[in-house]
Structure formats: structure tokens, C-alpha cells
Amino acid sequence: MPIIRVALNIPIDTLFDYQAADANQHDIGLRASVPFGKKLVTGVIIDVSSETQISSEKLKSVQAIFRDIAPLPAALLDLFHFCSHYYHHPLGMVVMNALPGKLRSNKPVKLKTASNNGQFTLTEAGKQIDLIDIPTRQRLARRLFIELNQSTVLTSDTAKQISPGAIKLLKEWTQLGWVSVIPIPVAMAPRIRKILHLTPEQEKAVSTITAKIKQFNTWLLHGITGSGKTEVYLRVIEKALAQNKQTLVLIPEISLTPQLEAVFRARFPTTHLINLHSGLNDTERLSSWLQAQQGKAKIILGTRLAVFTPLPNLGLIIVDEEQDSSFKQQDGLRYSARDLAIFRARHTDIPVVLGSATPSLESYYNALRGRYRSVRLQSRAIENAALPMIRCIDTRINKIQEGLSEPLIKALTQCLAAKHQSLVFINRRGYAPVLLCKSCTWAATCQRCSSRLVVHLRDKQLCCHHCGHRENFPRACPQCGNQDITPFGQGTQRVEEALAIHFPDARILRIDRDSIRRKNAWQNILQTIQAQEVDILIGTQLLAKGHDFPNLSLVGILNSDASLYSTDFRASERLFAQLMQVAGRAGRAHIAGHVFIQTEFPDHPLYLALQRHDYDALAQTLLAERKMAGFPPFVYQAILRAEAHDIQLALNFLSQAANLAKPPGSVEIFDPVPAQMLRLKGLERAHLLVQSSSRKQLQSFLAKWHIQINTLPIHKIRWVLDVDPLEF
């Protein structure tokens, strides 16, 4: 009887064997419901064999093999195997983590997916209908008719954007003979409207990449903010679509989805585009996933988990804002979507484009060494659009009140008078980061984390931005009883309050994670900004990258000095990237841009490089420092992380793991140390760093060491091996 080998969502790095009378090699990649202990669980069939090491009396039979959808392709299974081996994570957990939630249940899939292969158009009978004949109360019907008359054709995706009930109404009209459905031939490339004239740099970038579009290359598209990287993406995607290939576009944040999706839909109105991100519910995610797997979706726009999407006709991968740390998962399976995208492109023999105004030092270094192919865009795409003027306001001379200096207030006043938009950037939400008692120096701290509670004054609450803990605002100091307890420092809410006092007639909009919690809130905010119904924006890093606000002429940056004190060796790189991104929001069209940075260190090399818009100068300096210190990209690292209710338990576990290790001379192991944030979500944390100048030798060591660590007793301990860590 055939034996199926199944990957289960179990923290054990092995496959599980089951008897399956009707199984064959074509079942590899299908889901199967199997007994595990006293319950039924779903896994994915990785192999079908005639042999097993399990005795016949212990060998169980499969409950069901689900053949409701196509099996996962071999190329995707190869990606899972690579991910499991490289990040030393159980294969079953890798596989099941990548599947939509509805595919992890013990039930077959029952989902009606609307066909998106067609487009609706009015028939001759439909054209004879007068809008006057449609009752006013049927607003959707009137809107659809207007859209059909104006656009000639209406795609399913566009109809859904108008209203969820639009498809049902269009089908009714089809039965009445008012509307006909025209299928789009699969082999025919969609009509693509070219909107912009390319600059010579863009033209060169597009021709260079498309000339080798049928083979693997890692292209680093290094373009300053506003240089038109998105237009280069569109032209390269156009080439892939002409060959009937799918394109996977990875973005770091959900907040970038609406604007990028709008651009893609405008350029490729008849092309089937889907989104894949955590903002979708289970049904929406499964529907999009299936459309990608079936080859119907030609453009897949998603956050990091989308790198695991099954794509039978994949021809191009784009990673936008490749330097962003959001591409690295920070819990569970700690993978880098950018690095997996490069592996997938190499395995599929297709190009991958990494786009950024401030590439990660690893990518920049790989381009210098020739491992990546570099394409530069060094001027703004819109004619006469210049890079913004950056000025540092010395806060030792210009005193700050409620977070704002006099030169910044004056600049905001002038901006309002010119009817231009401005952005005040502070990467700290809430009202104030600390609640202090001036009498006894008590500060409100989180009981579950080594962090202070953030003041949310409007909610009259103190919140931990690490674990989510909330508590009511105290009336007096719990330590000495003093009622004069004071919020210290600035957050977005406090800056909003201060700006409202200075500019009572200005339309002020705060944008942070607190203000965009509701579904579709972000899309509504973007529309409000584009309609120029806002004068002053106050925002966190949500606004720092990827957004194009043509009427924005002024950016004020507050509290950026904090990163200069950081013990993280990546802090300078991240700060420069963030400031370069947020500065790049200004002056992107025909109005001049100005950036004001409030700082106590106006002569700091980082700020001087920023004023010259000279990424290369700072990158060369940072690379020299890292080479001297022995940091990435000159070494490869892994961290063994452990957490327990008592820090000593975690440190003891790490010491035992270190004693088991027998590293070769090329691999260096450091002593266990407490984490920088000792306590997080009720657990105390420690880690142990391993590094080597050879990735191959580090991986070889980690593979053996990981097996040894699994033999250690882990009572009251949680541990994980983090390869290529970004946080310490």
C-alpha cells in the first residue's frame, strides 16, 4: 500500500508517514487530513513512497486526501525546503504558515470565486436605455450605466470597487440582454496606456532590465526619491505581461497598497490584479490565493507572506523599498521575504528587481561586489522638480515649545499662506512617551515589559506599545501621592494639539496606527490628502515612504536625535533611510520642497550627508566602520534567542547550548547576554550571538548545532534560532 509523507504544523522537524490506498505521485503538494494523537489535523503531502520505517502496527491510515484544488507546485515545495533548511525551522510549520487559514482546516474548500477573465460592455439594447428610466433610488444602477457609457468596457475588479453588489446587478443585466461579457484571451497582452515620457535614466533602466527579462539577475534599482522607480516597475511589468507571465510585487507595509494598486489599475485596466496582505479576511485571502494559483491573477501585490504564493507562470519579482525591516518576520518563522524572493527568482530563472532610494548596506555592498546588477536613477522624473532643500534647526539655540521651534512654526505659516500642504514627522505615536512625577521621579512603566507606558491623553489611558497593555490614567503618583504628575516628551497627539493652538484655522490630520485602525480608514485618508482637504499632516513612519503628495512642499522632522544614541549598529543606516524617505515627500512635483530637521547635532556626519542627498558618502563611511568592527555585510550572523519567566533560566539554557557547540575556527560564538529590552510580554529574554565570515560554514555549523540544541531539556524555556537577525 502506498505511503504518504505529510508535513504537519508541529514543532518537530520531521515528516509523518501514513497509509493511503489511493495515493500516487500526482498527490504530492495536496492537503491531507490525518490522525495525530487523539485529533485530526491537516498537512501537506511532501512525498509518496512504497517504504516506511514505521512498523505496520503503528502505521495509521490517512483520513482524507483533498483534491479540491490543484497541488502546490514543485517549485514552491522547493522554496519551502530551502526556507526550512536555511532558517532551521520545521518544514511542516514553514509549509502550513504559508497557506491561507481556510486551507489549514480539516475540510475541503468550498468557495465560489467570481470569474475575472471577462469585461462587461453595453449591448445595442443596453445603449438604448435612458438614464431617466432608471429610478433615482437605484443609485448603483445609475452609476454602473454611467461608467459603462464612459468607459465602454468595465472589468469585474472595477465593478467590485464601485460596489460589492455590482457583479450581481451586471449578471442580471446580462440575462436581460443589456450587457454582454467579452472574455479576455489569455494569450493576448492587455492594452496598456503609456502615460509618462521616460527620462533618459528611466529609459536606460527599463531597456537594461528588459533586455535580460528571461533570465535570473538581481537588479538593484537605486533611485532617489521622486526619480520614477514606480514607472520603471510598470514598464518592466508590461514586458512580463506581454509574455503572459505573472508578476509578484512585494511591499513592506499594507499602507502602501492603496496608492500602488491605484497606479497599477490605471495603467493596466484589463489586467487581473490581486492583493495579499493581513488586512484581508480568511475568505478574501483564499479567493486571491486561488486566483494566483490558477494563473488568473497576473499581478500579485502583497506584503512579505505573499512570497510563498503559488504562481505557475511567474516571470518577474519586484521588491519595493527593499531596505525595509518589515520584510523580516520577527517571530515564529523568522524569514526575510526579500532574501527568499531572490532565491525564488534564481530557482525559477527570472529577474528580481530590488528598488530603493536608500538600499540596505547588504544590497549596496552586493552591488559594489558585482553580485547584484546596479541601475541608478539620480534625478527626479518630473521636469523641473528638484530635490528639497534640507536645513537643520539647532535646538541648542532655537528653543522648543511643545516640540516645535520658532523657525519651523514660521515655515509652516508661510506654507499655509501659499496654500501648500506640509508634513510634521515624529515617529512616536500617543500624546507623550513618559508619565513622570517631578517630586519622586516615579515613571509609569509596563509590568510585563522593560518599557515605559505611553500617555494617550484623549483616551485617559497609559498604553504599552510593545505588548498592548492598557491601564487608566492615575490621578496622583502611586509612589508619593503627588497630584502634579506630568506627561514628558512629545508624541503625535501632543504635536497635533500644539499645532491646533498655533494654527486654529488650519485643517490638521494626524496619521498613525491609532488613527487608521478602522477598515478602509487609510484609503479614505489618502483620498482626503489627494483632494487637498488637509493643510498640515502629522505622521509617523506610515507616511515616510512610497506616497506621492504633489502639493506637499514642507516637511518638519522632530525628535530624530534619539537614534544617534542607539547601541544598535544598524541605527544610523535606519535613521538615514527614514529621514531620506520622509524628506523625499516634499517638492515632488512643480513646487519647491523644504525640509527642516530639529536637532542638537547639526554638524553630525549623518545630517551633513542628508543635506547633500549623498547616500553613497554615508554608505561608504558606514561600510568602513562595519568592516573594522566585524559587522554585516562582512560577516554572517545568527542569534540563539531564549526567553523564560526568570532571566537566569534563559541564560543557563544558552550556556548549555554554547557548551554543546563545537564550532570550526571560522565560526565565532559569543557569551550569552540579556537582551537590550530584558522583559517583553511577561517573559525575560537573553541571546547568544554566532557569526562567521563564511555563510556556508556558518550554515553547516548551525545545522549540526540545531540538532544538538533540540536534545536539551526546555522546561519553562522558549527558544528560537534567528538567522540573519535585524534586531538584538
Give the tens place of pLDDT for each residue, 456-489.
887 788 999 888 899 998 889 988 888 888 888 8
Name which of 251-260, 353-362, 647-656 the model is least confident about.
Answer: 251-260
Question: For position 335, what pLDDT does the model report?
Answer: 97
Give the tens place of pLDDT for each residue, 666-678.
999 999 999 989 9
Q: Give the residue-averaged pLDDT of 553-565.
A: 88
Name which of 111-115, 229-233, 687-691 the model is least confident about.
Answer: 111-115
Question: For position 151, what pLDDT does the model report?
Answer: 64
Question: For position 193, what pLDDT does the model report?
Answer: 44
Q: Give the residue-averaged pLDDT of 10-15.
A: 92
Q: Above 60 in pLDDT, residue 388? A: yes
Q: Name 144's bridge partners.
A: none
Cα distances (angstroms) measured from residue 452 to each of 343, 474, 683: 40, 14, 16
Q: Give the residue-averaged pLDDT of 16-30.
A: 92
Name which of 52-66, 117-131, 155-169, 712-726 the model is least confident about.
Answer: 117-131
Q: Give the residue-averaged pLDDT of 488-509.
A: 90
| Residue type for position 348 | T
Going by pLDDT thresholds of 50, 70 and 90, the confidence category of residue 201 is very high
Residues found in the chain: 728
- Determine the Cα angle at 379 with ends 373 and 380, to 5°: 115
139-145: long-range contacts, CB 8 A cutoff, minimum separation 24: 140/165, 140/166, 140/169, 141/169, 144/169, 144/170
Question: For position 191, what pLDDT does the model report?
Answer: 38
Contact between residue 362 and residue 619 where contact means Cβ atoms under 8 Å apart: no
Going by pLDDT thresholds of 50, 70 and 90, the confidence category of residue 520 is low
699-704: long-range contacts, CB 8 A cutoff, minimum separation 24: 699/86, 701/661, 701/663, 701/664, 701/667, 702/88, 702/638, 703/85, 703/88
| Cα separation of the two ends of the chain | 50
Place of cell 522558549: 718
Cell of 559: 525628535
Question: For position 319, what pLDDT does the model report?
Answer: 97
User: What is the reported pTM?
Assistant: 0.84
Q: Give the residue-averaged pLDDT of 598-610.
A: 93
| Sign of the C-alpha dihedral computed for residues 362, 364, 366 and 371 taken in this order | positive
Question: For position 545, what pLDDT does the model report?
Answer: 63
The top-scoring range by mean pLDDT among 71-75, 128-132, 223-227 is: 71-75
Going by pLDDT thresholds of 50, 70 and 90, the confidence category of residue 110 is confident
pLDDT greater at residue 58 or residue 255: 58
Going by pLDDT thresholds of 50, 70 and 90, the confidence category of residue 185 is very low
Going by pLDDT thresholds of 50, 70 and 90, the confidence category of residue 188 is very low
Residue 638 CB contacts under 8 Å (≥ 6 apart), including other chains? 689, 690, 691, 698, 702, 721, 722, 723, 724, 725
Cell of 444: 509609569
Place of cell 502602501: 256
pLDDT greater at residue 391 or residue 1: 391
Q: Above 60 in pLDDT, residue 422? A: yes
Cα–Cα distance, 700 to 448 (Å, whole number): 37
Name which of 503-507, 562-566, 570-574 the model is least confident about.
Answer: 562-566
Give the tens place of pLDDT for each residue, 116-138.
446 777 777 777 777 666 654 46
Q: Above 70 in pLDDT, residue 114? A: no
- Percent of the chain at pLDDT above 90? 58
DSSP sequence for 470-530: EEEPPSS-TTT--S-EEEES--HHHHHHHHHHH-TTS-EEEESTTTT-STTHHHHHHHHHH
Question: For position 195, what pLDDT does the model report?
Answer: 52
Q: In 600-666, where do the E strands start and end?
A: 636-644
Q: Above 50 in pLDDT, residue 189? A: no
Cα–Cα distance, 261 to 267 (Å, whole number): 10
Q: Above 80 in pLDDT, residue 158? A: no
Cα–Cα distance, 428 to 445 (Å, whole number): 17
Contact between residue 43 and residue 62 where contact means Cβ atoms under 8 Å apart: no
Q: Name 245's bridge partners.
A: none
Q: Above 50 in pLDDT, residue 286? A: yes
Domains of the chain, earliest start first: 3-104 (3.40.1440.60), 118-183 (no CATH), 200-377 (3.40.50.300), 389-432+489-619 (3.40.50.300), 636-723 (3.30.70.600)
